[in-house]
Amino acid sequence: MNFEHTEDRRMLADSLGRFIKEQYGFETRDRIARSAQGYSPEMWRQFADLGMIGALFSEERGGFGGAGFDIAVVFEALGRGLVVEPFLGSAVLAGGAIAAAGSEAQQGLLAEIMAGTCIGAFAHAEPDAHYELAHVRTRAERRGDSWVLNGAKAVVAHGESADLFVVSARSAGGVDDEAGLSLFVVPARTAGLSLRGYPNIDGGRAAEVTLDDVTLGPDALLGAEGAAFSVVENVLGTGILALCAESLGAMDAAKDATLDYLRTRQQFGVPIGSFQALQHRMADLLLESEQARSAVINAAAALATERVTRERALSAAKFTIGRVGTRVAEECIQLHGGIGMTWELPLAHYAKRLVMIDHQLGDEDHHLERYIALGRTELVEGSR
């Protein structure tokens, strides 16, 4: 199998990397990440104008990419720049759900999402779900021709800035059943929808979302009633791939900064990078990060395959990224010494992001257990 990127993808990576380097330096990023909105609307429009949002959607949905390696290329570049704009929540998750299950009218929203004029937020996780995809307490009840939603959603990225929410709710079945899960498109200003926003530790903002008798028309239902679990699993799987690729970019930036420091910081009249013990530690990080890269390549290649193969590859990548990303963060901080923890040094921010990626969409413990469980499923299905 040829793992080299196509010319189009190399051009995409070069264009995005150059833009981030020239227009999205650390001081700019830090200011944006700590702002009241948690992202820059101006930067978001510029990313859209460059086609970076459209690269996350297939041609049949109005984009010009959408494959696993397209997503990986974009998010690796975003990870290098610690970009906080809503690529994951708006394009990959909310936009991905609309692209996968939306009606013709609903898919008209995709053009606005790709143009950067509409921000979507994916409201699925709940406070007590512990990463379990089917665990949804939020209820959706029919009242005449309308749907009425009641419940709460947790850690919804860019929720305060969203123009619409894609909300999961249970229209039938028990709290942990895969069957009976439905998705709804909810405009942000709908009566009964309230938000409590807060800053994230690694930059940007998120919100807790409460739905109190939120009444929607029949056209708010996204896809078939009660059959949304497969859509949620697919969309969040794509999100996992995006996070893993983002982590690769952040790891590379952290390693590069550490190598520069080892080459310039001197002790006993020589650069500390000449000390063999430190060279061995950096070599170990290189080997670990290359293993992580292989896992992400495997996940990107498996994104369009059958379910068990796809989900095992994604869980393997997320487990590996969680373990390696945390190690890279810790080692790079230690190799810098005390200066590595200072707010003014970009490394501390890369370290925080690497650690937090482990906790998004399932940590390494969750995905190790899931990988094992899916392996059992594969064995049972193969024996039939």
Cα-trace Rg, the chain = 21
Q: What is the mean pLDDT of residues 161-169?
A: 98
What pLDDT, on the 0 to 100 scale, is given for residue 273? 86
What pLDDT, on the 0 to 100 scale, is given for residue 335? 94
Tally helices (H) and strands (E) across the chain: 12, 10
Q: What is the mean pLDDT of residues 292-308?
A: 96
Residue 145 DSSP one-character state? T
Angle 68-80/229-264 helices, nearest 10 degrees? 40
Spell out the domains of the chain, with CATH numbers in brackets: 7-119 (1.10.540.10), 121-225 (2.40.110.10), 230-382 (1.20.140.10)
Q: How many CB atoms lie within 10 A of CB 160?
A: 18
pTM for the full predicted model: 0.95
Residue predicted with more confidence, 3 or 343: 343
Could you tell me the pLDDT band of residue 88, with boundaries at 50, 70 and 90? very high
**Cα–Cα dist 127/153, whole Å:** 7
